[in-house]
Amino acid sequence: MIIAETAAEVRSRVAEWKKEGLTVGLVPTMGYLHEGHASLITRAAGMCDRVVASVFVNPTQFGPGEDLETYPRDFERDCAVLEVHGCDLVFHPDVSELYPEGAATFVEILSDMPKQLCGKTRPIHFRGVCTVVCKLFNIVTPDRAFFGQKDAQQLAVIRRMVRDLCFDIEIVGCPIVRESDGLALSSRNVYLSPEERRAALVLSRAVDLGKRFYAEGETDAGRVVRAMSELISREPLAKIDYVSAVDGETMMPVEELTPGVLVAMAVYIGTTRLIDNFTVGE
Ligand code: PAF
């Protein structure tokens, strides 16, 4: 596996592959990889001739007071995970490589979409995500890019950006990977104490409850969201940021659960903010 720190090196490797007629998949990550990331790499390796992963903790998607400084990092371990799952090249740039001195250009979706759900408490988050993903797309020029469905709003925002900016890139959404007890994998799970780890199960229990309500014929979004919220509120270590049912593409609130609707939540367990979701009918 090649480790590249500069955009120039990535470009020249990708150019060689493209000259040979090979397809390229990109898996953007912020490192501290877990089985969820591994599943993205495996999927990319199954669908593309060559796989590029980026490991970059992107400063512009963290707001003031968020965990940019303490975000977990372990590049050596990340490389081992990437290599074993079929990654061909890891792009591990320094901040100055992606944000050169004086960088002042951002990519921002100006509709209400990035202001919903996580955008309410993280107002600059999706601008940072779009900006860095756009840079990565320009450097790697992948045929396909792979993102997890756990970050459902991020996936919707990136699909929007790709359409709006006419990128010729297929965006592949990949299923949430869970621990055996249901907790959705996240690099931030490492922040949880044993007691919080137990309490965090309330998110996947709420997902299961919402799915069960729908399976039993309940389509009133308000009622389902209320039942999920009540379940979460019974956990003393949990504090709800939001539980919402939204259109799976626009992220705007809906009143009825129909196939494709996203039921998403963000919940603080202690000081750790965790997200989880399900898509109706999937
Ligand atoms: O999902 C993530 O890890 C990040 O938001 C991403 C897509 C790598 C952009 O920094």
Q: What is the pLDDT along the chain (282 residues), one digit of tens a residue?
A: 999 999 999 999 999 999 999 999 999 999 999 999 999 999 999 999 999 999 999 999 999 999 999 999 999 999 999 999 999 999 999 999 999 999 999 999 999 999 999 999 999 999 999 999 999 999 999 999 999 999 999 999 999 999 999 999 999 999 999 999 999 999 999 999 999 999 999 999 999 999 999 999 999 999 999 999 999 999 999 999 999 999 999 999 999 999 999 999 999 999 999 999 999 999
Please provide residue 51's backbone torsions phi and psi, each rounded to the nearest 5 degrees: -120, 125
Q: Of all atoms in ligand 1, which is nearest to the CA of residue 133?
A: 9
Q: What's 202-244 look like in SS3?
A: HHHHHHHHHHHHHHCCCCEHHHHHHHHHHHHHCCCCEEEEEEE
User: What tokens were used for 124?
Assistant: 């600059």
Atom of ligand 1 nearest to the CA of 54: 8
Helix/strand/coil for 61: helix
Active site residue 85: no
Residue 263's nearest CA partner among 274, 271, 272, 254 is: 254
- Of 93, 59, 62, 92, give the one whose Cα is nearest residue 77: 92
Output the six-digit token pair for 141.
Answer: 């020029």
The pLDDT assigned to 62 comes to 98
Determine the residue of 41, 61, 118 to mutate for testing ligand 1's pocket, defined as the one with the most ligand atoms within 8 A of the Cβ atom: 61
Q: What is the bridge-based pairing of β-strands 262-269 and 238-246?
A: antiparallel
Q: How many helices (H) and strands (E) does the chain have?
A: 10, 9
Mutate which of 37, 60, 66, 154 to test ligand 1's pocket (most atoms within 8 Å of Cβ)? 154
3-state secondary structure 162-203: HHHCCCCCEEEEECCCECCCCCECCHHHHHCCHHHHHHCHHH
Q: Which helix (H) or strand (E) holds 245?
A: strand 238-246
Q: Using CA positions, which residue lies closest to atom 5 of ligand 1?
A: 129
CA distance 135 to 129: 10
212 Cα: distance to centroid of ligand 1 (angstroms): 31
Q: Ligand 1: which residues within 6 Å by Cβ?
A: 28-30, 58, 61, 129, 132-133, 151, 154
Query: What is 116-172 written as a DSSP string?
Result: STHHHH-TTHHHHHHHHHHHHHHHH--SEEEEEGGGHHHHHHHHHHHHHTT---EEE
